[in-house]
Amino acid sequence: MATDVNRESTNPFGSKDPSALAETRHGTYALVFNCSIPFQAVAGKLGAVLITCGYWIYVGSAFGPGGLRSRLSHHLKPSHRPHWHLDYIKSGLCPVEIWTTTDTFKREHDWAGGFSAINGASRPIRDFGASDCACRSHLIHLHRLPGFDRFKRQIRKVVPAHGPLFRLDLTHGALDGLK
């Protein structure tokens, strides 16, 4: 079983410093958001979507130019010209955590399935973030914050050769390094 070693060479956040996220690192990510006030938004071709209170996890991959740093930076800033489904709803959400892997394989589908398997999880918005795949949705709703260690154990049951996973807590000002 792989271990999570907190070294600069493997941890894209360095010593929990998001500014150390190397621009060339590719991988899969989960953005964990909290919604304290329900709202409705029009999410492009998906139309009107209802975002209820609780935690929302958006799963994606960043294998293009700029890698994880570029994609996460985009997702954590206001969008004046929405591109991804998340761009339409993120202004009503508060980012709480970022989970990543620099595994060389795209793991977003495994992760979406893994989050969906958590007790109480739902994917109420069909095709959200998943218009190019067979997944129901890459946006998962939970009433409680998911446990990172439990998720790691769960995903490694499904994908034993999965690379290291990392978590960054954004509730203590760590977001500044990604902007």
* DSSP category for residue 37: S
pLDDT digits (tens, 9 = 90+) for 97-108: 999 999 999 999
Least confident segment among 97-106, 111-120, 146-155, 164-173: 164-173
Average pLDDT, the chain: 84
Given 3-state DSSP classes, what are the helix, strand and coil percentages for the chain, each rounded to the nearest 5? 25, 25, 50
| Average pLDDT of the residues in 144-169 | 93
Question: For residues 114 and 37, is the Cβ–Cβ distance under 8 A?
Answer: no
Write down the pLDDT at residue 129. 86
Specify the pTM: 0.85
How many CA atoms lie less than 13 Å away from 15 in the CB half-sphere?
0
Three-state DSSP class for 85? helix
**Per-residue model confidence as pLDDT tens digits over 50-94:** 999 999 999 999 999 889 998 999 999 998 899 889 999 999 999
Token pair belonging to 65: 């130019």
DSSP letter, residue 149: H
